[in-house]
Amino acid sequence: MQSTTTVEEAIRNRRSVRRYQADSIPLDRLTRLVELGVWAPSGGNAQTWRFVIVTRPEIIRALHAVAPGMLSIPPAVIAICQDKKLAFQRGGKLGQECTSVMDAAMAAQNIMLAAFAHGLGTCPILSFHSEAVARILGLPEGIEAELLIAIGKPAEQPVPPTRTVGDVLFINQYGDTNGKQ
């Protein structure tokens, strides 16, 4: 399915959606989102991310029970995980501790923007009990969940939190807001 949403529209209008319609999301749509996720950049092209698409209601309910940051029960979840051992082999301590986390975040943003472009709401969730999630998803030793992405048809239209680029942008030197110094 093609989308006519531009990248800029998706970036500006994607919101963290925390209430979803009950409709299930077909597996092929979720798989497509993960395919777009793995087109994200990764440090040293490590690609040590691993993804678990969760559609079974009882597993989603179990995740909800150990994730205080999951404010309702979505129809689907994509768990973005990292193979931490492989990340160490490919990128050393930096790869294991830092790059792998950033890579997961890059894939997450691809997934969330692509989902938005196809009419789906998402919410990134970091507030979860890591060991409990690993147990629920059957993650082998060394594979860690970095972020859960809740996905579903939106049942709310959140108000966009304000962004003020003027407060956070400097030109050439920190503190210079007009670049004329």
Interface residues with ligand FMN (CB under 6 A)? 15-16, 18, 69, 71, 123-127, 158, 161
Would you say 16 or 47 has its CB closer to ligand FMN?
Answer: 16
Q: C-beta of 180: minimal distance to ligand FMN in Å?
A: 32
Q: How far from each other are the two terminal CA atoms of the chain, in whole angstroms?
A: 50
Cβ-based nearer residue to ligand FMN, 16 or 85:
16
SS3 (DSSP) at 102: helix
List of residues 6+ apart from 38 with CB closer than 8 A: 47, 49, 51, 107
Nearer to ligand FMN, 73 or 85 (CB): 73
**Under a CB-based contact definition with an 8 Å cutoff, are residues 74 and 60 in contact?**
yes
> Which residue's C-beta sits nearest to ligand FMN?
69
Contacts of 92 (CB under 8 A, 6+ apart): none
Q: Smallest distance from the beta carbon of 178 to ligand FMN, in angstroms?
A: 27
> What is the smallest separation between the CB atom of 163 and ligand FMN, expressed in angstroms?
8
Residue 77 Cβ, how far from ligand FMN at the closest point, in Å?
A: 12
Nearer to ligand FMN, 1 or 165 (CB): 165
CA distances to 17, 126, 136 from 65, rounded to whole Å, are 19, 14, 11
